[in-house]
């Protein structure tokens, strides 16, 4: 018998919206509480690997995603100056047959819009910054910065890397600054004077890298994301603007194909990269964490949002299988912890694709086929 109480989802990011989409399909009552006043279209690309696309498929989004995403032939890994090939992850039909879904690259805003479309209008409350969460009666009371409250029988903290729900459950965290920053932007390919990026490429320098890819089938928008040493900048937020001249200097000497991308790029944002260890637990009673709130990771395997989607699918499966929400969420944690810890720790090494890499254990995973622990 499935859970029939009311679920509060804190955070309308990738994982929170996906969970809302699944709960809506299951007929479980829910509300999403989001701190932002409205959604804004961030200038960023996102890679969705086959394990993520299987979740998007279950939300009915596959056709839409194939229309707006770019399907690369490979993720090529090349030496920063010579352009010599280190290793290619081969995608396209071959990988789709092997892993059960395509590997696609897209604008983060398009992904977010697609996920938003799976949640009924009116189920997201904006301008609701969670400040506190406490037991009340048989369930929970959520308190927000505007003084309002809400009640729920189960609470999912999908509130990202600076999760307030995690802080309430486990206390303040102490992430380690890696001494590195990521710059990222999406800009018009027309600024590259006729040059078009063909596929996804990671250019590996001695102490820095840059990943470049188009974000739609027309390839008229290009995305890049970097990782560069910068011990003086430790702000973990995309609202900070970076300096494109500094980015060009940081990648001076990189291959001509990188110079063509950076030459006229108008602007960039930057985010300090932190490392965190796997958490001891993700649940307490009928409260659980999801996505970056419980397993934030460095972006080097492009698996943060993918694993948040897997989490959402698994929570929905557990709530559909068990009527006691605490029991359902404990099963969810048990089903997900080893996998996400392994990805977190592998990602930290920043060696994915630098040499021969078998991605089967990541891409072949199907959040709907994996047995749920008893
Ligand atoms: C440079 C970079 C590149 C990346 N590239 C990829 C990639 O290619 N592929 C991939 O799979 N992953 C990638 N990731 C990781 C991915 O962005 C995250 O893992 C993913 O967004 C996590 O989803 P989430 O739903 O857990 O959190 P988020 O998407 O961060 O959503 C959290 C939501 O909670 C809201 N919120 C926060 N606090 C509160 C509060 N107190 N009350 C109410 N609401 C709140 C926020 O406003 C936000 O809407 C990348 C990350 C970085 C830094």
pLDDT the model gives residue 333:
97
Atom of ligand 1 nearest to the CA of 33: 43
Question: Which residue is listed with tokens 């003084």?
Answer: 147
**299 CB within 6 A, ligand 1:** yes
The answer to whether the CB of 86 falls within 8 A of the CB of 32 is no
DSSP letter (8 states) at residue 88: E
pLDDT the model gives residue 298:
92
The answer to whether residue 213 is catalytic is yes
**111 CB within 6 A, ligand 1:** no
Residue from 14, 183, 315 whose mutation best tests the ligand 1 pocket (most atoms within 8 A of CB): 14
**C-alpha 1 to ligand 1 mean position (Å):** 32
| pLDDT (tens digit per residue) in 307-327 | 999 999 999 999 999 999 999
pLDDT the model gives residue 3:
86
Task: Write down the catalytic residue from 91, 213, 223, 365.
Answer: 213
Residue whose CA is at the smallest distance from ligand 1 atom 7? 302
**333 CB within 6 A, ligand 1:** no
Residue whose CA is at the smallest distance from ligand 1 atom 39? 159
Sign of CA dihedral 337, 342, 345, 347: negative
pLDDT the model gives residue 335:
97
The Cα–Cα gap between 271 and 21 comes to: 29
Q: Say whether 269 sits in a helix, a strand or coil.
A: strand
**32 CB within 6 A, ligand 1:** no
The answer to whether the CB of 362 falls within 8 A of the CB of 51 is yes
**308 CB within 6 A, ligand 1:** yes
The answer to whether the CB of 270 falls within 8 A of the CB of 183 is yes
**225 CB within 6 A, ligand 1:** yes
pLDDT the model gives residue 322:
93
**314 CB within 6 A, ligand 1:** no
Q: CB-based contacts of 132: which residues, under 8 Å, 6+ apart?
A: 142, 143, 168
**How many CA atoms within 13 Å lie on the side-chain side of 109?**
13
Question: Which residue is listed with tokens 């200038």?
Answer: 43
Atom of ligand 1 nearest to the CA of 159: 34
**183 CB within 6 A, ligand 1:** no
CA 16 to chain centre: 11
pLDDT the model gives residue 234:
85
| pLDDT (tens digit per residue) in 252-305 | 999 999 999 999 999 999 999 988 889 999 999 999 999 999 999 999 999 999
**C-alpha 212 to ligand 1 mean position (Å):** 20
**C-alpha 300 to ligand 1 mean position (Å):** 15
Q: Which residues of the chain have pLDDT under 70?
A: 1
Residue 104's nearest CA partner among 12, 215, 243, 236 is 215
């Amino acid at each position: 018998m499935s859970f029939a109480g009311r679920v509060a989802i804190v955070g309308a990011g990738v994982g929170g919206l996906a969970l809302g989409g699944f709960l809506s399909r299951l007929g479980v009552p829910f509300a999403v509480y989001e701190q932002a006043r409205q959604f804004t279209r961030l200038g960023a690309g996102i890679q969705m690997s086959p394990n993520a696309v299987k979740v998007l498929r279950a939300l009915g989004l596959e056709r839409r995603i194939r229309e707006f995403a770019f399907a690369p032939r490979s993720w090529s890994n090349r030496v920063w100056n010579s352009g010599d090939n280190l290793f290619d992850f081969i995608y396209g039909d071959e990988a789709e047959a092997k892993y059960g879904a395509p590997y696609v690259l897209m604008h983060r805003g398009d992904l977010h819009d697609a996920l938003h479309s799976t949640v009924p209008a009116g189920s997201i409350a904006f301008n609701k910054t969670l400040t506190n969460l406490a037991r009340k009666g048989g369930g929970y009371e959520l308190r927000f910065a505007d003084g309002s409250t809400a009640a729920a029988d189960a609470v999912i903290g999908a509130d990202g890397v600076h999760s307030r729900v995690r802080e309430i459950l486990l206390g303040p965290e102490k992430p380690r600054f890696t001494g590195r920053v990521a710059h990222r932007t999406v800009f018009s390919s027309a600024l590259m004077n006729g040059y078009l990026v063909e596929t996804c490429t990671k250019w590996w320098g001695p102490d820095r890298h840059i990943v470049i890819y188009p974000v739609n089938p027309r390839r008229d928008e290009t995305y890049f994301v970097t990782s560069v040493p910068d011990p003086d900048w430790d702000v973990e937020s995309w609202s900070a603007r970076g300096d494109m001249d500094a980015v060009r200097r940081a990648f001076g000497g990189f291959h001509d194909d990188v110079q063509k991308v950076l030459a006229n790029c108008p602007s960039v944002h930057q985010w300090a990269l932190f490392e965190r260890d796997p958490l001891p637990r993700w649940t307490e009673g009928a409260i659980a964490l999801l996505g970056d709130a419980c397993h934030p990771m460095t972006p080097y395997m492009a698996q943060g949002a993918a694993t948040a989607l897997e989490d959402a699918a698994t929570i929905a499966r557990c709530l559909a299988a068990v009527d006691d929400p605490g029991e359902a969420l404990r099963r969810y944690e048990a089903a997900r912890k080893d996998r996400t810890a392994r990805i977190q720790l592998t990602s930290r090494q920043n060696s994915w694709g630098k040499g021969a890499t078998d991605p089967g254990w990541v891409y072949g995973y199907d959040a709907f086929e994996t047995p749920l622990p008893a």
